[in-house]
């Protein structure tokens, strides 16, 4: 049984603010927010990254910390404008093992981005004839979990557990899905909303292999975007598997902009993978 251990932490010691996640399953230390004197912040981060589970450090840094972090040997991997209360954030990373740093598919993934960026952009206007596009409720969590089990072998969060999906729904995550004529869910995605930061991540995108030519994900994401606009969310982004031609193509065609790649970012599909950042600018 997979154990998705994760600890959230916050420090307000000695005039600094540091908030983040110890992601034991994906072997990542993630700094979500930081403020204060640089040397004190670096001392605290350096102490945290010495823990045995850490293979990758991700800091979601404001522009004030961009060049000091680069000077410390961190690498800029992705960029999200208006990520937190209208402020830009830079995803700056460092690696603790050579294996985690090395990405054997990086050039191939560059080629995928180049190909999808040549596709024409689309506007979703027509309805899905013969299919239902609906917002999920707690009554749908079992069916959603079944869909995710059928699509992914591994996933960075416990998406195969209906209780986890229900918990996410109660914590500002919105799911939409498409059902076929037999009432089976064939595609779904979610928007994980940061109410304070006014941002949302389009995530948990999944379509059954037998239904991947139907264009359902474009309709789902468009519905999620419409809901986010109603909630005055100012930043919408998505992190897609770099090896997924279809998902990267969908995001480009829906007018998302590619802004970087997070190397060996998380365990998803069937292994640890690089993830592309796409932002609705």
d(CA 52, CA 279): 33
Closest CA to 144 of 158, 130, 154, 156: 158
Closest CA to 180 of 128, 129, 126, 131: 131
Using alpha carbons only, give the angle 182, 186, 187 rounded to the nearest 5 degrees. 145
Beta-carbon contacts of 268 under 8 Å, excluding residues fewer than 6 positions away, are: 152, 154, 155, 156, 241, 275
Q: What is the pLDDT of residue 14?
A: 78
- Give the domains, in start order, of the chain with CATH numbers: 6-101 (3.40.630.30), 106-280 (3.40.630.30)
pLDDT tens-digit series, residues 127-152: 888 899 999 999 999 999 999 999 99
Residue 15 has pLDDT above 90, yes or no: no
User: What distances in angstroms separate CA 141 from CA 136, 163, 188, 205, 258, one per listed residue?
Assistant: 8, 8, 11, 15, 31
Residue 122 has pLDDT above 90, yes or no: yes
**Helix, strand or coil, per DSSP, at residue 133:** strand
pLDDT tens-digit series, residues 39-86: 999 999 999 999 999 999 999 999 999 999 999 999 999 999 999 999
Dihedral through CA 39, CA 40, CA 45, CA 47, nearest 10? 110
pTM of the prediction? 0.96
Helix (H) or strand (E) holding 98, with range, is helix 98-101
pLDDT tens-digit series, residues 223-251: 999 999 999 999 999 999 999 999 999 99
Q: How far apart are the first and last CA of the chain?
A: 40
Using alpha carbons only, give the angle 12, 94, 19 rounded to the nearest 5 degrees. 20
d(CA 26, CA 273): 11
| Average confidence score pLDDT of the chain | 96
d(CA 108, CA 103): 10
Share in percent of the chain as helix, strand, coil (round to 5): 30, 40, 30
- In terms of residues, how long is the chain? 281
Residue 265 has pLDDT above 90, yes or no: yes
């Amino acid at each position: 049984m997979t154990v998705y251990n994760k600890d959230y932490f916050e420090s307000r010691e000695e005039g600094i603010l540091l908030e983040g996640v110890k992601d034991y399953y994906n072997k990542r230390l993630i700094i979500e927010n930081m403020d204060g004197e640089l040397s004190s912040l670096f001392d605290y981060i350096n102490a945290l990254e010495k823990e045995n589970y850490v293979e990758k450090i991700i800091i979601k840094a404001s522009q004030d910390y961009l060049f000091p972090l680069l000077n410390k040997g961190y690498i800029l991997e992705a960029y999200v404008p208006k990520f937190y209360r209208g402020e830009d954030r830079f995803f700056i990373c460092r690696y603790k093992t050579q294996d985690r740093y090395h990405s054997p598919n990086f050039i191939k993934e560059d080629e995928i981005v180049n190909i999808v960026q040549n596709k024409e952009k689309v506007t979703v206007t027509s309805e899905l004839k013969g299919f239902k596009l609906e917002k999920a409720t707690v009554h749908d969590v079992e069916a959603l979990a079944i869909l995710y089990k059928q699509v992914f072998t591994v996933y960075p969060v416990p998406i195969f557990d209906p209780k986890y999906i229900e918990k996410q729904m109660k914590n500002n995550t919105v799911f939409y899905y498409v059902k076929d004529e037999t009432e089976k869910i064939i595609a779904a995605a979610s928007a994980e909303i940061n109410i304070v930061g006014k941002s949302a991540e389009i995530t948990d995108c999944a379509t059954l292999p037998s239904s991947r030519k139907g264009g359902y994900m474009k309709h789902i994401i468009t519905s999620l975007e419409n809901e986010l606009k109603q909630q005055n969310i100012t930043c919408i982004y998505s992190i897609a598997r770099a090896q997924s031609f279809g998902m990267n193509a969908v995001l480009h065609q829906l007018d998302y902009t590619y802004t970087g790649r997070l190397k060996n970012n998380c365990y998803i599909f069937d292994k640890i993978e690089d993830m592309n950042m796409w932002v609705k600018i």
